[in-house]
Structure 1
């Protein structure tokens, strides 16, 4: 069929089809000598994939990569798209829940205060910004660089590992494994009888973790998982580990409910988080520099932290203990501090161009006056038993 009929049958405009052809996203099956584009039934499959992936929120470049380079067969492609749509639905449900809560508060108070508006902004913005943040390990490495100035030289991942009690032949699931650094840094201490599954919602991170751990003498399993929909049966694991990531869940309560479901009776959740005191001095400097930028806080991590995590966990778990690790960053390099803030979700869009230069100059002046920047670090490990 010619482009006009194909457009009419599919409900997509001719202009859109011409654009897809131009960028190589959807080429017609053939072109006549006269230059007419001819489409066939198979092209509907390609167009369906494009429209579904666009609906999910992917860019045309991302869609092109999936369609042309994934090598998935038809059944797998349909399964992948269905899963992605289910995740989209869950995110929309979480957004609706926030709006309902805001509506109820507005009904009672007669207005929406700033906190209600902030909740709406964060939840509607969260998914795409978090995915963008963790496409590679670049931002994680930048943030690790600032923490290398910590005068408390206890390695965080070794500290976390030592907090975990591993039963013999335990089945372990790590959510949000990132680069796999927890296991890489403790590779000499891994019991070969453990059954360890590393997961992340980012395919890129899983690839990085696999590469980082390829020479570690252990056969890790890898799984792409959204923590709000863990694809395992009830009581599949003895231990679940979640390092600094639970606050990225659109629905934290749903994520914890899923974790509890897959844990055995007596199973343990080890979940690390920051304190609201973490980065307090840096946040205060950012506020004095320009409070309108929104970089004077710890971002999403405030959704689950030392100060509120205990109450949240006790809704789901019988017993909750906590261990705390404190430290102090002493740094005299303004660029390292600016890079840290610019690597965060909010900072990546606000600390650019002239604004980034101005903030660097602001911190350089502070260092000249005070000798350095002193920044509190305070993190914790919750130990929750089912």
Structure 2
């Protein structure tokens, strides 16, 4: 499979990359464990949403449910979030993540054809997933359709320099495919406003700058392995990579990775 197409190939996403929560969790844990920003990212994101009691809330592409697990103690009264994912396995992981909390409901569906009526939700989240959708404009129209007038979309993504050091490391050891998936080229912080303004009048990009200082080798290797199908990681290359990372940690205390990410709000 052409790995440029892999990032939006629905069968690959459902049956390989996101069949379970393992790959996504490996990436979340690298950020959670080695972030140098004292602000917890998903708590910061929650603060941008201004969720109120009684609001109708939908998350499209809920992943492992980490956003909600992080903010469970902060949920307003009478909030009943609906969580949706393309992968049934991922939706099951999200259900377990919120400890079977009965305030949540779960379903599987395609973001390009949401199974809800018009003007249903006050807030819709679609974080780090629009670059996976084959027809992004169609998905954006669907997100707009299910929002009430004045409702707000949160569609977080990354910037062009996101984890540049890791990409350079992959290049150093020839672990990238000849054609590298361009996530932010499909939907990133820079082009998000032009993409979303086709359906929304207002778009606001709020950056969240951070740095990872990775002091253990295995979590970084797990992250790289989690990109199965997108990065080439032959077994004979792993030993050299591990030696390089371990030397970096021993001599510098850790491996620095700059994060370029943020929330994109549209209404």
- What is the TM-score with the length of structure 2 in the denominator? 0.89
Residue correspondence of structure 1 range 56-95 to structure 2 within 5 A: none
Q: Which runs of 5+ in 2 are unaligned?
A: none
Kindly indicate whether the alpha-carbon contact (under 8 Å) linking 1:176 and 1:199 is maintained by their aligned counterparts in 2: yes
Q: Is the 8 A contact 2:25 2:64 kept in 1?
A: no
Written as runs of structure 1 = structure 2, the 5 A alignment for 1:1-386 is 121-122=4-5, 126-131=9-14, 132-147=16-31, 148-214=33-99, 216=101, 218-290=102-174, 293-294=177-178, 299-347=182-230, 350-368=232-250, 370-385=252-267
Change (3 A) 1:292 1:174: closer
Q: Deviations over 1:78-103 (max 9, x none)?
A: xxxxxxxxxxxxxxxxxxxxxxxxxx
Aligned CA distance change for structure 1 residues 346 and 263 (closer, same or farther; 3 Å):
same
CA distance in 1, matches of 2:255, 2:92: 36
Whole-angstrom distance in 1 between the partners of 2:241 and 2:67: 33
Q: Work out the CA distance in 2 between the residues paired with 1:121 and 1:383.
A: 27
Q: Shift in Å at residue 172 of structure 1?
A: 0.9
Q: After TM superposition, give the deviation of residue 346 of structure 1 in Å.
A: 3.6
Quick check: 1:171–1:196 contact (8 Å CA) kept in 2?
yes
In 2, are the aligned partners of 1:279 and 1:298 still within 8 Å (CA)? no
* 1:207 Cα deviation from its structure 2 partner: 1.3
SS state at 2:155 partner: strand
CA shift in 2, pair 1:279/1:124, >3 Å: closer
Within 2, Cα distance between the matches of 1:277 and 1:360?
24
Structure 1 129/380 Cα, relative in aligned 2: closer, same or farther at 3 Å? same
Q: Deviations over 1:105-158 (max 9, x none)?
A: xxxxxxxxxxxxx7x941697223212111111112211232111111321211
- The 3 A distance-change label for structure 1 pair 341 and 152 is same
Q: 1:361 Cα shift?
A: 2.6
Q: 1:285 to 1:214 in 2, by over 3 A?
A: closer
How much has 1:342 moved relative to structure 2?
1.7
Inter-partner Cα distance in structure 2 for 1:156 and 1:312? 24
Partners of 2:59 and 2:82 within 8 A in 1 = yes
Aligned to 1:88: none
CA RMSD, 1 decimal: 2.3
Where do 5+ consecutive residues of structure 1 fail to align?
1-117
The 3 A distance-change label for structure 1 pair 176 and 124 is: closer
Q: In structure 2, do the counterparts of structure 1 residues 364 and 214 end up closer, same or farther at CA, with 3 Å as the change threshold?
A: closer
Which entry has the higher C-alpha Rg, 1 or 2?
Answer: 1
Q: Structure 1's 298 and 337: CA in aligned 2 closer, same or farther, altered over 3 A?
A: farther
Tell me which moved more, 266-275 or 146-155.
146-155
CA distance in 1, matches of 2:137, 2:146: 15
Matches of 2:120 and 2:213, distance apart in 1: 44
User: Paired residue for 1:102?
Assistant: none
